[in-house]
Amino acid sequence: GAGVSQSPSNKVTEKGKDVELRCDPISGHTALYWYRQSLGQGLEFLIYFQGNSAPDKSGLPSDRFSAERTGGSVSTLTIQRTQQEDSAVYLCASSLAGGEPYEQYFGPGTRLTVT
Partner 1 sequence: AQKVTQAQTEISVVEKEDVTLDCVYETRDTTYYLFWYKQPPSGELVFLIRRNSFDEQNEISGRYSWNFQKSTSSFNFTITASQVVDSAVYFCALRSQAGTALIFGKGTTLSVSS
Question: Is 34 within 8 Å of 91 (Cβ atoms)?
Answer: yes
Note whether 72 binds partner 1 by CB under 8 A.
Answer: no
Q: Is 86 helix (H, G, I), strand (E, B) or coil?
A: helix
Q: How far is the CB of 94 from partner 1 (least distance, A)?
A: 12
Q: Which of 28, 54, 70, 103 binds partner 1 (CB under 8 A)?
A: 103
- Which stretch, 17-25, 39-47, 67-75, 76-84, contacts partner 1 (CB under 8 A)? 39-47
> How many Cα atoms occupy the beta-carbon half-sphere of 77 within 13 Å?
33
Q: How far apart are CA 59 and CA 32, in angstroms?
A: 14
Note whether 106 binds partner 1 by CB under 8 A.
Answer: yes
Q: Which of 1, 27, 28, 42 binds partner 1 (CB under 8 A)?
A: 42
Q: How far is the CB of 91 from partner 1 (least distance, A)?
A: 7
Q: How far is the CB of 89 from partner 1 (least distance, A)?
A: 7
